[in-house]
Each structure stands twice: as C-alpha cells, then as structure tokens.
Amino acid sequence: MTNRKIVVALGGNAILSKDASASAQQQALRSTARYLVEFIKQGDQLIIAHGNGPQVGNLLLQQAAGSTESNPAMPIDTAVAMTQGSIGYWMQNALREVMAEEGLQQDVATVVTQVEVSADDPAFSDPSKPIGPFYTKDEVKPIAAAHPEQTFVEDASRGYRRVVPSPKPTGVVEAGVVNKLVDAHVIPIAVGGGGVPVVRENNQLVGREAVIDKDFASEKLAELVDADLLIILTAVDNIYVNFNQPDQKQLTNVTVPELKQFIKEGQFAKGSMLPKVEAAIAFVEHRPDAKAVVTSLENVGEFLSNGTGTIISKAAVASN
C-alpha cells in the first residue's frame, strides 16, 4: 500500500549517542535519513516527530552556566522551541541530501509546534520527568537553594536530578498546518521534543515549565491528522514481555486488550517502553482502522519488506 500518511516518532538514539557536538548529531541524522527515505521511495506521505531529551538538557545546562541578570537563561518551553529549530534544521538538510542521492525531490519543513495541555493536569502538582545531569547530595544543595522554584529528587540511587511536570497533550495547535504541508507534498517535521507545552488562557497560548512525552505528542498529532499509521521507533525491533528474562517473548501482532493485560501485569518499564505502548493503544483506539508499530530504526527496511516489528491493532489478530 502506497500513499499512506505515516507519523514516524524518532527516539533520541536517532540523533545523539555520546558525542553532543553539532557535527556528530548532523552525521547521526544523515544515517537516520537513509532509513526514513525508504518510506518516501515507496510513495508514503511522511510526518516526522522526534525527541530532544539530551539536547534540551544540554541547552539548559549551557544557559545556566552563562546566565546573568542582564542575559538570563530562557525557560523550558522556550528551550524546547530552540531545540525544535536546531534539530529540524539538521534533519531538513540530512533528508534533502539523502533524497538528492536517491534521485528524489521533495520539500521538507520544520514546524515549531505548540502542544496544548490542561492547566489542571495533575502532573503540574507532581513533577516527575527527570531532566539534566545527576548531582551528588552535596552538589544539589546549593543549586536547590539558589532555585527554590525547581524540584530535585533522588533518581534510581544514581544521584539527584531536577524533575519537571510531564502533562498529557490535549491538542496540537499546528496540526492543521501539518496537514496542509502534507497536502502540498511537503514533509513536515513536527512536535519535536513533545512540542512546546502551552495552556490556553482566553485568546493567548501561554508556555509552561514542563516536558511533554514525545510518544504521546506524536500520537496526538497522528490522531489529529488522520494518519494511517503511527510508527514509534526505539532501540529494539519488537516489544517483549518478560524482557531480559529466560522466558522473554517477542510480540509481533498484538491487540489492544492483550497489551492492556500486559500493562496490568507490569510488563513494561515506566520510563521507557510503557509510554510507547500507551501511545500505540491510544492511537488505534481513536483510529480503529489504523495500526501502530513499535520497532527500531534499523528494522525499517524489514518492516517495509516483510512487516516485521510489533504491529498493534484494535481488531483480533494472531498473536505470537
């Protein structure tokens, strides 16, 4: 099937590994673009979403180190917008270069995307999303004293980290713009880093100090643009149950009720696979005729050729 409208959500490993330099991230995105171009070659209409966890964390550190009264650091919502621009700039050029090598010609545009959240979301009173580096107990004390508005917690016995709210998306302000770009045969790069978190106050969109989960934002965008497929790319080719155990089991075709049962069993790690599974469930529940896929970037070719990966559907299918 060609001419499908597909939202592809890239994990952070598609952009940044260990080297945080601009040149290294640009090179990583050239490699990523080679996989994504396979969708374009077969006639799919691509919408690209991406994470920005390492990049926004690094940017906040750089700003904090150079912040002065006359040149203060920017808030998180603005930092998210800044990384949407920088990563989009690199990704646009990477895609154009690879498409030119393949004899393809298609415009690419980055959309600085605002994602609406509810001001009443309970996440605002319970910050939980870790950002930035680890600190020792002695290191964090003066930082916390200097920034009483910030929350620091001990994270997995590895030290203390700042945590911020992670509200659920309720809308994507620029979803209509994304659809218009697709209709004009332009590849949009949107909801980078989960989007800039905003709340609606009368006629204003007001940024909030928060980080939206990239997978939930990608799902909301896929839902609003009536995508045929949501593909969440991560570090593994498939979702597993009993992961890393002797009896681990690979999931290939799986239904929403089956995944919900696995969630009840605590099969998926809260900070890694669980949001991907929950986002996939939300998408197929809103778009019953559509499907969601969780697989790795490196498995894109096999998915396109043989349908390998974890395919999530609402209707009953064979489960492995």
Strands (E), 226-283: 229-234, 239-241, 249-251, 253-255
pLDDT at 319: 44
Please indicate whether residue 12 is annotated as part of the active site: yes
Q: 248: which 2 tokens? A: 């681990």
Of the residues 276, 291, 309, 314, only one is catalytic, namely 276
Q: 228: which 2 tokens? A: 């045929």
CATH homologous superfamily for 5-112+170-198+209-313? Acetylglutamate kinase-like (3.40.1160.10)
Please indicate whether residue 264 is annotated as part of the active site: no
Strands 229-234 and 196-201: what pairing? unpaired
Please indicate whether residue 214 is annotated as part of the active site: yes
Please give the Cα distance from 30 to 285 (Å, whole number). 34
2 — pLDDT class (breaks 50, 70, 90): low
Percent of the chain with pLDDT over 90: 70
Residues forming a β-bridge with 163: 130, 151
Say what the pTM is: 0.90
Across residues 39-50, what is the average pLDDT?
A: 95
pLDDT at 161: 85
pLDDT at 154: 87
pLDDT digits (tens, 9 = 90+) for 16-38: 767 788 888 889 899 999 999 99
pLDDT at 310: 97
| Tokens 């498409």 found at | 99
Of the residues 11, 52, 57, 129, only one is catalytic, namely 129
pLDDT at 35: 95
pLDDT at 318 over 50: no
**Amino acid present at 261:** Q
pLDDT at 317 over 60: no
Least confident of 111-115, 140-144, 306-310: 140-144
Residues forming a β-bridge with 201: 204
pLDDT at 66: 84
Q: What is the DSSP string of 272-319?
A: THHHHHHHHHHHHHHSTT-EEEEEEGGGHHHHHHH--SEEEESS----
Contact 51, 20 (CB under 8 A): no
pLDDT digits (tens, 9 = 90+) for 170-183: 999 999 999 999 99
Sheet containing strand 204-207, edge to edge, reads 169-172, 114-117, 196-201, 204-207
Please indicate whether residue 220 is annotated as part of the active site: no
Of the residues 5, 13, 58, 159, only one is catalytic, namely 13
Enclosing H/E stretch for 5 = strand 5-10
Q: 141: which 2 tokens? A: 């004390």
316 — pLDDT class (breaks 50, 70, 90): low
Please indicate whether residue 13 is annotated as part of the active site: yes
Residues forming a β-bridge with 205: 200
Sketch the domain layout of the chain as residue ranges.
5-112+170-198+209-313
Please give the Cα distance from 182 to 159 (Å, whole number). 44
pLDDT digits (tens, 9 = 90+) for 59-108: 887 887 888 888 888 889 999 999 999 999 999 999 999 999 999 999 99
Please give the Cα distance from 28 to 108 (Å, whole number). 18
Least confident of 133-147, 178-192, 288-302: 133-147
